[in-house]
Structure 1
């Protein structure tokens, strides 16, 4: 097997960006290893197709968390992308940078050089922002689409209600002052998903110095002393060891990256010994600091047509399919997460503490053969949902066994702090205000159980425990920071105490960003690539 200058483990949102940037000069040989497949499902390219990939084991690892007493003893469903594009290939396409204070928090937490002024420039480098009339701002490979001309008409009631409550409005949640009601920007272009694989990896694979290896299950990273030198993997029934000349970059995501470090001998010593793994370095923080957004939806029947009326009947499905086939527009070219934004649950707060969603559709998950299928309801309906933006509870992700194919042990430790429980009540109350604003009250034909409008603080928290779920934004399990005693990687994303290995994905976030985490993951990877190239 040839020696590569850089080996990237994981062709997800971060890995695809790294592959393009590290190979651009043509001087470096880059290998990308992906445990899943090529990501060629037509449901990935179709923006609304994530309703099909959500339970598809061909493109989704379909992890589960451990049962949590704080969530009524329930397990959580944790979909993670399985294939080229990673979780960015199966997500709901919302492009949210986060609010500026999120990154100032990073810097305050020891991630020197990752403040807003710096990361904003990186965002602007990778983005091309596209207006409804096709005007472009920026020259980056990643298209960020303004779809405000395509959203369903029922969304107008959300904006009217926000104005009735004196809530702010913004044209773009990604602006420096992006607080308020907005139409969400999407990662789409030409009516197709514009994920990291399409924007970055596809152009990179046209270069002779880039190799993609799918179906490659990495077993461990091989060290010589304190230097990472090779990757051991299993593919097509064979074990391979592939050396790296300069660096190995671990980009397997916030769930898989800490587990792979542990399988390589870097992690909590007692845990590693329990599974018969030789301890290279006792690092209890590997797998810790797990953060995630929890959210809940409230469902309502509507007094006027919504997307249900388009997507539920067969005739509506056919019309939507034809509209998409001929014009690459319409509901199939969008996310169901059409509107929402960042809001303060109280006016005296220094910054927004809640992210809201207003979706012009309701749906039911039903069994179909060996998997579940998401189906729009056969009546007009809409959703109001929320997630507290910055949870303070911290959980863990650890290996379950030394078997490289074993699912990880995910313990989110949800709602462990009084502050997180208070934030749930605050978010529920904010949604309650929205649901009882005159514009929304007139839109509600009936509330599907439970009726948010009648709920007390105790009801809101109890219902959240019973029904909430992850919003699929896990971060923090290989936290970056200057202090090796509390962080896994340094601000340049090198593994503390080692050479030749960096971790570049959402696992290094010191703190979760206020919104969807796909955009900051791609930003982080682009900036990390510059750091890697500077070291050569």
Structure 2
């Protein structure tokens, strides 16, 4: 390890892996990656075998095991949040579902002041650059990027029943939820290739680990930023919680994610002064948005008993584990070679939304994400929850100790709109699972059970049973307003030369779907902004818009005018004036 680097990347997770690859590609810029977790050893089946995805969660060798504060609208219970504690970050332990989000998500971003170059047309070239879509490249999908993406086969009887039931329920099929049309149902892309997890580390770091201008140090917990005047000039870190080190940097890039990045900013004196003083930290830079605007997706599992022995339930028996492992290790196939989230889709639960607000993940088994509370017999389930909730939370440090987890509160179920959409998504899922395609299999709803019928009963169940979908984001958002933290044109922290942020925390608002793909897109785009490369030209590929004239934001929000102007949609006032003129 050198004494000084051009770039020090704090966090070897999803974004950090991509940045390390792109910023060291010139062969001259020196790059150091500091990862607080351990290496993602290629011999570790709990990382690389897709079917083992449930085992790293809660395991301190893989998971930081965050918890929220007692959530006031969920009976005061704490919600566990797994975050990857290993190279590749959460991409090394997640469910491997690859969803870009809806084009409307990026139009929302671009409607914020200063964010004009983060619309879908400007983001699409970076999505394409990072992908190798095994199903085939086209106008919307990439074919030569580091991330290899297989599409789920979804050929089992239960998957076929699910896809048929969606059509019987009145919904449409789509060729590719990441392509022209997100709305509808289809087999899902997964970051799985030839039976193995294709994490950000495996895609971006492993092929370049021998670059002479790149160093990767694991078990290195960054404890603070180094300063010279108002400029960040390096970091302090501890290896294995014992040996203290410092390193100088031309630029420090925080890639710790929606929890660790705002925590480190606050520990370093960047944030709301009152919050910092309460934790025993001397304020340096007044940025009240640090740790605010925190967003996530909450989800429940709607479960049914299967009358036929066609689920993957028998494979959960422990005595079968050696066979599953051997089949995966020596043949790259079998139940261990898939993440089992092979199909799903997106719908609108009401006519008041501009694009889908509900995502379905179908699973041919009834089991919780962490492998607990199995139905015992054959079953199936859908994972559901609102995708565009208006709920926001916050994160703040409890003390100046970098090893103490911060105080995290999402405020789940705290708004009227969120509670309304929760009732809608449960009823929409029940409608699909009640279709004739499922009749040969349906042995009845096991969770929540038919007794949960009224709006109040459904919301009570959600409050008691819901889990995070593990999509924390938006806690150090890009923008130019007073609550923004990051400059969207440079990824620099406002008022702090030498410091940038690139991870899910910079999202202005959460995207519609799993957030791994958007994080990787942000990292790809940020790499060009940081390196001073000419950004990729916007791609005008057309996309499906069900309600193009529908406002993206609540009525009266001035950002609707920006959205209308970008798409030549007349404002409500202009439309009224035109109508009156026509009547005259």
Q: Same fold (TM over 0.5)?
A: yes
For residues 133-185 of structure 1, give each alpha carbon's deviation from its aligned partner in whole angstroms, at most 9, with x where no partner exists. xxx9611011011122x653311111111111110111221013121111111
Q: Which residue of 2 aligns with 1:475?
A: 473
- Residues 228 and 348 from structure 1, CA distance in 2 versus in 1: closer, same or farther, beyond 3 angstroms? closer
Residues 452 and 458 in structure 2, CA contact (< 8 A), matched pair in contact too: no
Q: Equivalences for 1:420-499 in 2 at 5 Å? A: 420-452=418-450, 455-483=453-481, 485-491=482-488, 492-499=490-497
For residues 213-261 of structure 1, give each alpha carbon's deviation from its aligned partner in whole angstroms, at most 9, with x where no partner exists. 111111111222221111011124222221102x110000000000000
Return the offset for 1:23.
0.3
Q: Which residue of 2 aligns with 1:191?
A: 195
Q: Which residue of 2 aligns with 1:406?
A: 404
Give the whole-Å Cα distance in 2 for the aligned partners of 1:127 and 1:378: 39
- Residues 14 and 102 from structure 1, CA distance in 2 versus in 1: closer, same or farther, beyond 3 angstroms? same
Give the whole-Å Cα distance in 2 for the aligned partners of 1:376 and 1:194: 27
Q: Which moved more, 1:467-476 or 1:372-381?
A: 372-381
Residues 225 and 232 in structure 2, CA contact (< 8 A), matched pair in contact too: yes
Q: Equivalences for 1:121-136 in 2 at 5 Å? A: 121-131=125-135
Q: Which residue of 2 aligns with 1:52?
A: 55
Within the alignment, does 1:285 sit opposite 2:285 as a pair? no
Residues 18 and 526 in structure 1, CA contact (< 8 A), matched pair in contact too: yes
- Residues 233 and 312 from structure 1, CA distance in 2 versus in 1: closer, same or farther, beyond 3 angstroms? closer
Q: Which moved more, 1:203-212 or 1:337-346?
A: 337-346
Give the whole-Å Cα distance in 2 for the aligned partners of 1:332 and 1:165: 32
Q: Which residue of 2 aligns with 1:3?
A: 4
Structure 2, unpaired ranges of 5+ = 535-584
- Residues 526 and 226 from structure 1, CA distance in 2 versus in 1: closer, same or farther, beyond 3 angstroms? same
For residues 47-97 of structure 1, give each alpha carbon's deviation from its aligned partner in whole angstroms, at most 9, with x where no partner exists. 121111012110101111011120121100011110101011110000000
For residues 253-290 of structure 1, give each alpha carbon's deviation from its aligned partner in whole angstroms, at most 9, with x where no partner exists. 00000000000110111121122212101222100000
Partner SS for 1:307 = coil
Q: Which moved more, 1:225-234 or 1:59-68?
A: 225-234
Q: Which residue of 2 aligns with 1:266?
A: 270
Q: Equivalences for 1:244-263 in 2 at 5 Å? A: 244-245=249-250, 247-263=251-267
Within the alignment, does 1:120 sit opposite 2:124 as a pair? yes
Give the whole-Å Cα distance in 2 for the aligned partners of 1:279 and 1:314: 53
Give the whole-Å Cα distance in 2 for the aligned partners of 1:326 and 1:212: 30
Q: 2:518 aligns with which of 516, 520, 524?
A: 520
Within the alignment, does 1:242 sit opposite 2:242 as a pair? no
Give the whole-Å Cα distance in 1 for the aligned partners of 2:221 and 2:319: 44
Q: 1:67 aligns with which of 41, 51, 70?
A: 70
Residues 249 and 504 in structure 1, CA contact (< 8 A), matched pair in contact too: yes
Q: 1:95 aligns with which of 78, 83, 98?
A: 98
Q: 2:305 aligns with which of 298, 301, 304?
A: 301
- Residues 297 and 457 from structure 1, CA distance in 2 versus in 1: closer, same or farther, beyond 3 angstroms? same
Within the alignment, does 1:352 sit opposite 2:356 as a pair? yes
Q: Which residue of 1 aligns with 2:224?
A: 220
- Residues 312 and 232 from structure 1, CA distance in 2 versus in 1: closer, same or farther, beyond 3 angstroms? closer
Q: Which residue of 1 aligns with 2:532?
A: 534
Residues 100 and 176 in structure 1, CA contact (< 8 A), matched pair in contact too: no
Partner SS for 2:275 = helix
Residues 147 and 185 in structure 1, CA contact (< 8 A), matched pair in contact too: yes
Over the aligned positions, Cα root-mean-square deviation in angstroms equals: 2.1
Q: Which residue of 2 aligns with 1:19?
A: 20
- Residues 452 and 277 from structure 1, CA distance in 2 versus in 1: closer, same or farther, beyond 3 angstroms? same
Residues 49 and 336 in structure 2, CA contact (< 8 A), matched pair in contact too: yes
Q: Which residue of 2 aligns with 1:369?
A: none
Return the offset for 1:452.
4.9
Give the whole-Å Cα distance in 2 for the aligned partners of 1:313 and 1:63: 29
Give the whole-Å Cα distance in 2 for the aligned partners of 1:383 and 1:321: 25
Within the alignment, does 1:361 sit opposite 2:362 as a pair? no
Residues 306 and 361 in structure 1, CA contact (< 8 A), matched pair in contact too: no
Q: 1:276 aligns with which of 268, 276, 280?
A: 280
Give the whole-Å Cα distance in 1 for the aligned partners of 2:371 and 2:55: 7
- Residues 275 and 450 from structure 1, CA distance in 2 versus in 1: closer, same or farther, beyond 3 angstroms? closer
Return the offset for 1:453.
8.1
Q: How many residues align?
A: 525
Give the whole-Å Cα distance in 2 for the aligned partners of 1:446 and 1:156: 19
Partner SS for 1:241 = strand
Q: 1:106 aligns with which of 105, 109, 112?
A: 109
TM-score computed with the length of structure 1 as normaliser: 0.94
Q: 1:327 aligns with which of 324, 331, 338?
A: 331
For residues 503-536 of structure 1, give each alpha carbon's deviation from its aligned partner in whole angstroms, at most 9, with x where no partner exists. 0000000000000000100110011011111089
- Residues 493 and 318 from structure 1, CA distance in 2 versus in 1: closer, same or farther, beyond 3 angstroms? same
- Residues 55 and 175 from structure 1, CA distance in 2 versus in 1: closer, same or farther, beyond 3 angstroms? same
Q: Which residue of 2 aligns with 1:84?
A: 87
Give the whole-Å Cα distance in 2 for the aligned partners of 1:535 and 1:271: 37
For residues 18-62 of structure 1, give each alpha carbon's deviation from its aligned partner in whole angstroms, at most 9, with x where no partner exists. 000000110111000011111223210111211110121101011
For residues 285-318 of structure 1, give each alpha carbon's deviation from its aligned partner in whole angstroms, at most 9, with x where no partner exists. 1000000000101111102223334413467555
Give the whole-Å Cα distance in 2 for the aligned partners of 1:384 and 1:272: 42
Give the whole-Å Cα distance in 1 for the aligned partners of 2:227 and 2:533: 20
Return the offset for 1:393.
1.1
Residues 396 and 477 in structure 1, CA contact (< 8 A), matched pair in contact too: yes
Return the offset for 1:386.
0.6
Return the offset for 1:379.
1.4
Give the whole-Å Cα distance in 1 for the aligned partners of 2:309 and 2:336: 17
Q: Which residue of 2 aligns with 1:415?
A: 413
- Residues 517 and 67 from structure 1, CA distance in 2 versus in 1: closer, same or farther, beyond 3 angstroms? same
